[in-house]
Amino acid sequence: MTPKLPKSMARMIEQVADCLPQFTRLPSIFADTFSNTFTTTLKPQNDGGVFVITGDIPAMWLRDSAAQVRPYLQLAKTDEQFAALIAGVVKRQMKYVLIDPYANAFNETANGRCHNRDKTEMSAWIWERKYELDSLCAPLLLSHDLWKTTGQTDHLDQSFLNGARLIVATIAQEQHHETSPYSFERLEGPPSDTLTNEGRGNPVAYTGMSWSGFRPSDDACAYNYLIPSNMMAATALTRLAGLPLADDQLKVSAVKLATEIREGIETFGKVEHPQLGTIYAYETDGLGNYNLMDDANVPSLLSTPYIDYCAKNDPIYLATRKFVLSDENPFHYRGKAAAGIGSPHTPKDHIWPIALCMQALTSTSRDEKLSLLESLLRTDAETGLMHESFHKDDAAQFTRPWFAWANSLFAEMVMDLCGF
């Protein structure tokens, strides 16, 4: 039975319908996508935390769960129910960080379920232990956004403080991955599911940036200084230092680490393109190797202003944006149904609605935003929901019919377009 929508959510749905009347299918699609996380993925826990599944996978990703509830910050401004909901998600995220900061996805209970039997230090709480730098950034950014939006500080408790200290320590440790305790090997599956060098990954040199084993797609990095995730870390650590916490040393450490990471990005994370000039690489190793591409998953190079690393009109970002939205990006696809960024995580020629939403959220052109909205409404395969990906020539060919992150980001994009 579908829960009755709270008044604040129903009111937002009505406001969006009035905002963009030219899109006749938008009211019903926005209603379904905006409410999807609330009605289908949330499980309140006895300790006050909230467990959030991603949709068709019964596990909670730190990154996805933060993205899924992010649109509800708009409701939390005036509705205590949603403020408490987001605080509960933060509480659960920090519980998981304290269990293992190297894991990316967790079970609701210590039931031993897992994605695969991997060679790494698992526990019964862990669904998957692929270390992704952006996962540790997610609870910091969500915590800051909740405080900034509502003034609420209840979620900034001792557990949060302990978790934040561990996050900072882990990110700092991975500036020197050669001394890290982390390794990961998947004994079955494609090469993108495991790390080379007996689970340690390819060699890297010190850059000031922090190492990540895997991308937000859960695919292994080719070169383990993942630029978008380091950008996200620079922002998250800076925002951690801005929270009203009774730990000045933590704030100092966070600022220092953010500064080192930013300097590493600006020193080692850029390349000269023959036509576009200076652009950001997707990955590097500090040894002179670079990966020039972008992936649909967030954080991405396309999302750089969204994660507040730079302004939308930053010259290097604009040059990078031109690259990633061109056919020079090996994962940019153009077809009869749409044009947009895909991922090596999904089949060739498949475009991600998440990337189309992010293109709109980072655009300075209202015409571009409206065009992208039209594309998204046209490529839902008449399901009324967003998918993980769809074929560039036929939107009826899609992956993951229930993917709450894509639904939430679509709703966020529409609210942004309406000025909320």
| Residues 156-165 pLDDT 10s | 999 999 999 9
Band of pLDDT at residue 117, cut at 50, 70 and 90: confident
What is the rounded average pLDDT for all residues in the chain?
97
Indicate the DSSP class of residue 175. Answer: G
Query: Model's pTM, two decimal places?
Result: 0.97
Query: Over pLDDT 70: what percentage of the chain?
Result: 99
Type of residue at 275: Q
Distance CA 282, CA 267 (A): 14
Region 15-42: mean pLDDT is 96
Tell whether the torsion through CA atoms of 316, 322, 325 and 329 is positive or negative.
Answer: negative
**Residue 372, SS3 per DSSP:** helix
| Residues 77-111 pLDDT 10s | 999 999 999 999 999 999 999 999 999 999 999 99
Band of pLDDT at residue 116, cut at 50, 70 and 90: confident
Residue 329 CA, chain-centre distance (Å), reads 20
Q: Closest Cα partner for 287 from 185, 136, 177, 167?
A: 177
Pairs from 96-99 (Cβ < 8 Å, separation ≥ 24): 96/60, 96/62, 96/125, 97/62, 97/136, 97/139, 97/163, 97/166, 97/167, 98/159, 98/162, 98/163, 98/166, 99/123, 99/125, 99/126
Region 14-41: mean pLDDT is 96
Q: Name the helix (H) or strand (E) containing 378.
A: helix 366-378
Tell whether the torsion through CA atoms of 50, 144, 308 and 377 is positive or negative.
Answer: positive
Residue 1 has pLDDT above 70, yes or no: no
Distance CA 290, CA 225 (A): 10
Region 275-301: mean pLDDT is 98
- Alpha helix stretches (DSSP H) within 41-150: 62-69, 73-76, 80-99, 133-150
Q: Closest Cα partner for 414 from 71, 64, 63, 40?
A: 71
| pLDDT (0 to 100) of residue 3 | 65
Instruction: Decide: 256 and 204 in contact? Cβ < 8 Å.
Output: no
Region 331-353: mean pLDDT is 98
Q: Domain spans of the chain?
A: 24-414
What kind of architecture, by CATH, is found in domain 24-414? Alpha/alpha barrel (1.50)
| pLDDT (0 to 100) of residue 2 | 55
Type of residue at 214: F
Of 113-117, 300-304, 359-363, 370-374, the poorest mean pLDDT is in: 113-117
Region 15-44: mean pLDDT is 96
Region 230-255: mean pLDDT is 98
| pLDDT (0 to 100) of residue 4 | 86
Residue 400 has pLDDT above 70, yes or no: yes
Instruction: Decide: 29 and 377 in contact? Cβ < 8 Å.
Output: yes
